[in-house]
């Protein structure tokens, strides 16, 4: 027995000496891991949904499921009208060509967007991997279609040309994988699919590409025990090459969403409009109807830049991050409308970034007197940011929340040099006289920031 003691002590030493804690493969242990601080400071990321679904680019990235499983009429008709009888979804694979994919150009657009991280779909529910996975024989981008490792190329460009953190989305289940369907028919008492496919892929992408976000999805109604999610996450947090900086979401098994994992996503397009006690992310799409590229989208299907700025501001003031999705084309282009929206976000953030990045929620999230005014706080500088989305016709902006102090409180319009005049509205609230500016003189469009110092 005494011979065992030194090795037991050695195992405990890092903990005793204040070293890195080791996490157990249990939710109680994993959920106690502090979220790396970079994620909360980043506030804004870009999601990229790209895969074989970009070939039909019709309706949705769920094309295969809606066509073959649900047999939805628009999808069945589309196939009948445009493809020969007997054409299968697998036949789309070689048509996913990516000949215009320029990862440097993508990286430059991402940088211009003001985003601080990017998440690429390494594999969606169709099971096609954008890297040459040894666990996805003949259904990956190196063997079929582009004949290129798309994950490696984007990862290299993003890391060489930008300061964005690189992240990967990975779907646990695959709609039509025979091993998954067999496990499902056994009510997930067998685990052929996760042990031979999903888990090996996860270890493979983390080891190969060292993503700092592992964005899981698609539990296929199977519990986390079937996926061995806690075992994988314990390795990710303890021993993986990204153990110190990696963040994960909450989609690791049926019933675990909004309960377990790193940050919470709760549901797609989640935007509660009030403060949450746990770090969360609003993942949403510029195309209101689809995550993947759609050739049949109309202009009104795309959110305007005003819509997007509003989503960002609401989300950040309530403690969330915004993950804004684009869907590239089968030939590897970011469509002009997506590029324009991303560059517009970047132009807005260039002026108003200090009201977004590295902020904390204030005691009030939105104003009680004027609608569409949202607050953020910079604790280090003691600055309160009031972001207002509508410029008042009167030139006077009334704010119900700030408690100003005479001769101490200062109000500035971000991007404009002179301090602004204000008067108190009783015990609480102030009226601010905005400068009279021409359109050319406005510091930006689509929303403006008042910076308040020395307010209670």
**DSSP letter, residue 360:** B
Does 390 score more than 90 pLDDT? yes
* Consecutive H or E run containing 450: strand 448-453
| The pLDDT value given to residue 426 | 86
Does 138 score more than 80 pLDDT? yes
Among 203, 249, 51, CA closest to 139:
51
Residues 374 and 259 in one domain: no
Say if residues 114 and 350 touch (Cβ distance below 8 Å): yes
High-pLDDT (> 70) share of the chain, % = 96
Mean pLDDT score, 363-390: 97
Is 15 a member of any domain? no
Mean pLDDT score, 121-130: 98
Confidence of residue 17 (pLDDT cuts 50, 70, 90): very low
Mean pLDDT score, 92-107: 98
Residue with tokens 């002009």: 336
- Domain count for the chain: 2
Q: Which residues pair with 450 in a beta bridge?
A: 386, 413
Mean pLDDT of the chain: 95
Residues 394 and 285 in one domain: no
Tokens of 236: 């990710």
Spatial distance between the Cα atoms of 305 and 37, rounded to a whole number of angstroms = 28
Residues 259 and 179 in one domain: yes
| The pLDDT value given to residue 427 | 85
Mean pLDDT score, 55-59: 98
Spatial distance between the Cα atoms of 155 and 264, rounded to a whole number of angstroms = 25
* DSSP per residue, 167-193: EEEEES--TT-HHHHHHHHTTT---HH
Q: Where are the alpha helices (DSSP H) in 44-172?
A: 63-64, 73-82, 103-112, 150-161
Is 18 a member of any domain? no
| The pLDDT value given to residue 7 | 44
| The pLDDT value given to residue 20 | 84
Residue 386's domain comprises 360-453
Residues 346 and 369 in one domain: no
Spatial distance between the Cα atoms of 139 and 157, rounded to a whole number of angstroms = 24
Confidence of residue 18 (pLDDT cuts 50, 70, 90): low
Q: pLDDT tens-digit profile of 403-423?
A: 999 899 999 999 999 999 999
Boundary (domain end) residue, out of 355, 377, 395: 355
| The pLDDT value given to residue 221 | 98
Q: Where are the alpha helices (DSSP H) in 353-422?
A: none
Does 16 score more than 60 pLDDT? no
Residues 229 and 247 in one domain: yes
Tell me the three state secondary structure of residue 122. Answer: strand
Tell me the three state secondary structure of residue 283. Answer: strand
Among 435, 377, 366, CA closest to 400:
366
Residues 369 and 316 in one domain: no
* Consecutive H or E run containing 321: strand 320-326
Residue 105's φ and ψ, nearest 5 degrees, are: -65, -45
Residues 205 and 311 in one domain: yes
**What's the longest Cα–Cα distance across the chain?**
83
Boundary (domain end) residue, out of 321, 355, 389: 355
Say if residues 330 and 93 touch (Cβ distance below 8 Å): no
Residues 380 and 314 in one domain: no
Is 273 a member of any domain? yes
On the CB side of 155, CA atoms within 13 Å amount to 19
Q: Which residues pair with 264 in a beta bridge?
A: 280
CATH number at residue 173: 3.20.20.80
Boundary (domain end) residue, out of 310, 337, 355: 355
Distances (CA, A) of 310 to 64, 339, 372: 33, 18, 8
Does 12 score more than 60 pLDDT? no
Residues 368 and 351 in one domain: no
Q: Where are the alpha helices (DSSP H) in 131-275?
A: 150-161, 178-185, 192-193, 199-209, 224-227, 229-238
Residues 324 and 372 in one domain: no
Does 347 score more than 90 pLDDT? yes
Confidence of residue 456 (pLDDT cuts 50, 70, 90): confident
Is 5 a member of any domain? no
Mean pLDDT score, 174-180: 98
Residues 334 and 389 in one domain: no
Distances (CA, A) of 301 to 67, 285, 291, 342: 22, 10, 12, 16
Q: pLDDT tens-digit profile of 139-170?
A: 999 999 999 999 999 999 999 999 999 999 99
Among 428, 316, 412, 312, CA closest to 369:
428
Does the pTM surpass 0.75? The reply is: yes
Q: pLDDT tens-digit profile of 269-315?
A: 888 889 999 999 999 999 999 999 999 999 999 999 999 999 999 99
Burial class (CB in 10 A: 0-12, 13-18, 19+), 433: middle
Is 9 a member of any domain? no
**DSSP letter, residue 303:** P
Residues 308 and 377 in one domain: no
Q: pLDDT tens-digit profile of 231-281?
A: 999 999 999 999 999 999 999 999 999 999 999 999 898 888 899 999 999
Tokens of 44: 């804004």
Does 349 score more than 80 pLDDT? yes
Confidence of residue 11 (pLDDT cuts 50, 70, 90): very low
């Amino acid at each position: 027995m005494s011979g065992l003691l030194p090795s037991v002590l050695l195992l405990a030493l890092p903990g005793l000496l204040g070293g890195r804690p080791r996490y157990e493969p249990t939710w109680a242990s994993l959920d106690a891991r502090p979220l790396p601080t970079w994620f909360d400071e980043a506030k804004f990321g870009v999601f990229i949904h790209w895969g074989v679904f970009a070939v039909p680019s019709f309706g949705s990235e769920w094309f295969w499921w809606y066509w073959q499983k649900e047999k939805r009429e628009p999808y069945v008709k589309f196939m009948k009208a445009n493809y020969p009888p007997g054409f299968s979804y697998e036949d789309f694979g070689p048509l996913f060509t990516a000949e215009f994919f320029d990862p440097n150009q993508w990286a430059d657009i991402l940088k211009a967007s003001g985003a601080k991280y990017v998440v690429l779909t390494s594999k969606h529910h169709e099971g096609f991997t954008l890297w040459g996975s040894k666990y996805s024989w003949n259904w990956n981008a190196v063997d079929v279609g582009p004949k290129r490792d798309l994950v490696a190329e984007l990862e290299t460009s993003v890391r060489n040309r930008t300061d964005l953190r690189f992240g990967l989305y990975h779907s646990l289940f695959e709609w039509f994988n025979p091993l998954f369907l067999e496990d499902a028919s056994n009510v997930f008492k067998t685990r052929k699919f996760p042990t031979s496919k999903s888990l090996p892929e996860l270890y493979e992408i983390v080891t190969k590409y060292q993503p700092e976000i592992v964005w899981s999805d698609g539990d296929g109604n199977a519990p986390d025990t079937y996926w061995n999610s806690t075992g994988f996450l314990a390795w990710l947090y303890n021993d993986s090459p990204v153990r110190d900086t990696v963040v994960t979401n909450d989609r690791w098994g049926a019933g675990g969403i909004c309960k377990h994992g790193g940050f919470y996503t709760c549901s797609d397009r989640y935007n509660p409009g009030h403060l949450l006690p746990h770090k969360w992310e609003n993942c949403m799409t510029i195309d209101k109807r689809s995550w993947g590229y759609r050739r049949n989208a109309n202009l009104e299907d795309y959110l305007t830049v005003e819509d997007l700025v509003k989503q960002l501001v609401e989300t950040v003031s309530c403690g969330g991050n915004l993950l804004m999705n684009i869907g590239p084309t089968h030939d590897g282009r970011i469509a002009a409308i997506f590029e324009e929206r991303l560059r517009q976000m970047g132009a807005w953030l260039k002026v108003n970034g200090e009201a977004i990045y590295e902020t904390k929620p204030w005691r009030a999230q939105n104003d009680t007197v004027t609608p569409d005014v949202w607050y953020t706080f910079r604790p280090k500088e003691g600055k309160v940011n009031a972001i207002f989305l509508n410029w008042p016709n009167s030139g006077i902006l009334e704010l119900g929340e700030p408690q100003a102090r005479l001769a101490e409180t200062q109000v500035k319009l971000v991007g404009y040099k002179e301090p602004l005049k204000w008067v108190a509205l009783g015990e609480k609230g102030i009226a601010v006289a905005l400068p009279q500016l021409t359109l050319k003189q406005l510091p930006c469009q689509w929303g403006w920031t008042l910076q308040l110092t020395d307010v209670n």
